[in-house]
A = this chain, B = another copy of it.
Amino acid sequence: MQCNTIDYERMFHPKRIAILGVSLEGVGLGNGFLLALQAMGYEGEIFPVNPRGGTFAGLNILSKVEDIPGEIDFAIIAVAARMVPEALEACRKKGAAGAEIISSGFSEVGTSEGIALEQEIRDIASRGIRVIGPNCFGIYCPKSGLTFMPGPDLSRESGPVAFLSQSGGMASDFANTGKWMGLRFSKVVSLGNGADLRETDFLKYLGDDPETRVIAMYVEGIRDGDDFFRTAKSVAKKKPIVVYKGGLSKAGQRAVVSHTASMGGSRTVWPAILKQVNAVQVQDMQEMAQASLAFSVLPERVFQGVSVMGGGGALGIAACDAAESFGIEVPLFSSDLKARIEDCLPKPGSSGGNPVDVMNPFVSNKALKEVLRHAATDERIDLQIVISLLYHYKVLAILRCKSVAAVTPFSELADVVGDVAKETGKPIAVVLPNTRRGMGDMDVVEMLAQARQLLIERGIPVFDEIRDVFRAIAHVNSYYGKRGARDE
């Protein structure tokens, strides 16, 4: 029975943290946490604890939790499994609102000892300290500087995306992926075994969290299906929930059991229920990140008609094929609009219908700007997609013996796209594929990373592949299509 309240504020933004399991040799999990918090510039106080005392990373190691002066808000527990209950109890007595237990060796190993230890954790939690984990990576909260274990260099910039994950690796991967992809996070929680606080608790909290506009989840299994789906239904009326359910296959379910010991649920039931509550189901981490990006950057509406611009006719064809498969239209421009667009482009080779074939990847950003402005005048166009093959500039760089960054007008591209999106009020998404990724093309990879960053700073979502952008928009359309219909 959990009768104590949950002080999320003190858990996500703790001012005083104890770290239990900081070894003198500097090789323990706790040491990694301490260094990561310092690297993140966490501004609160950190109290490392180890019975043997000593110093580490410029801090005195206290020999027991009781020696910490005053109360603590939060604890990071990374001691051996059998020591965890005692450690947790000490933190509870020190007034901690919560603790994340990183240690593994509990119900997930399936031994009676592990299961009993996890029960002990639950018992202590019911007496006033809320627990994340065990067998988890903890919390990442950019605003407070709290970070999980493999995260000394995550972004400190906050944003609208929250992520709940039953896999620590997935939590860390998603946070890192978000960093370069332009996802900014409110809170990321690695739930681990969920002995105390679980997916539904955080889902409820995030549903009301004003800092969170999009909730992404990696789920392997849920404890209380009814409660989860009731909560999801209510939260999905307020904000999109993007769900990646792992372990829907037979072998996958078997692997779920040895990973987080949770019950999986079947391949047929999940999609049906998620659809019913208007949650967005995705098939892997890339799709989850791309959908979250689209939700976090685009206005809250359906995008039925899109324009597509790219150089190389096959691109436009690929875009049309992808659009149709995701229920999005690429409406043909009127002959008048087509002619106006073709006036801006080199001939022969270009084509001004929709998709617009700008003929080659070297068409000027000035021309592109005019094309985008013209295309935006068609009222059937809700969003524009620019496919930019910047990697082709490598050939120019080689032939002219200059650096790729010097010959590629990527910063002008970012300005043009950013300006037109603002000016026309119609969002623009950019696709930046890269066919050059070998050892001889690291300059191209770096230039594209810079280009992406400039675009992101202007609020433009960037995708690697043509299909990706349409799939992400389709998720946005599906969610707002249903939610809108319900609110009317």
Contact = CB atoms under 8 A, between A and B. Distances in A.
A53 interface: no
Interface stretch (A60-68, A175-183, A227-235, A296-304): A175-183
A318 interface: yes
Most buried by B among A283, A317, A330, A437: A317
Interface string A241-256: 0000011111110111
Contact of A442 (B256, B284, B449): B449
Interface residues of A, number: 92
Interface string A301-330: 000000000011111111011011100011
Copies held by the complex: 2
B179 A438 contact: yes
Given A251-B323, A330-B251, A395-B150, A314 B246 contact: yes
A429 B313 CA distance: 34
B317 A247 contact: yes
A324 B450 contact: no
A251 B437 CA distance: 31
Nearest to A264: B317
Nearest to A149: B395
Contact of A317 (B177, B259, B453): B259
B438 A446 contact: no
A168 B389 CA distance: 14
Interface stretch (A87-95, A350-358, A367-375, A478-486): A350-358
A398 B153 contact: yes
A201 interface: no
Interface string A417-450: 0000000000000000101111111100110011
Contact of A105 (B284, B348, B394): B348
A21 interface: no
Interface in A259-298: 259-260, 283-286
Interface string A328-350: 01101000000000000000110
B353 A254 contact: yes
A249 B351 contact: no
A466 to B, nearest CB: 7
A254 B320 CA distance: 9
A180 B442 contact: no
A152 B395 contact: yes
Contacts of A285: 318
Contact of A321 (B173, B177, B252, B286): B252
A166 B323 CA distance: 21
A321 B247 contact: yes
Contacts of A222: none
B104 A180 contact: no
Interface in A434-475: 435-442, 445-446, 449-450, 453, 465-467
12 contacts: A152-B398, A172-B435, A173-B435, A179-B436, A179-B438, A251-B320, A252-B324, A255-B313, A258-B353, A284-B318, A437-B449, A439-B450
Given A255-B320, A258-B313, 12 more contacts: A168-B312, A169-B311, A173-B435, A177-B435, A247-B320, A247-B321, A248-B321, A249-B320, A251-B329, A254-B332, A259-B313, A284-B318
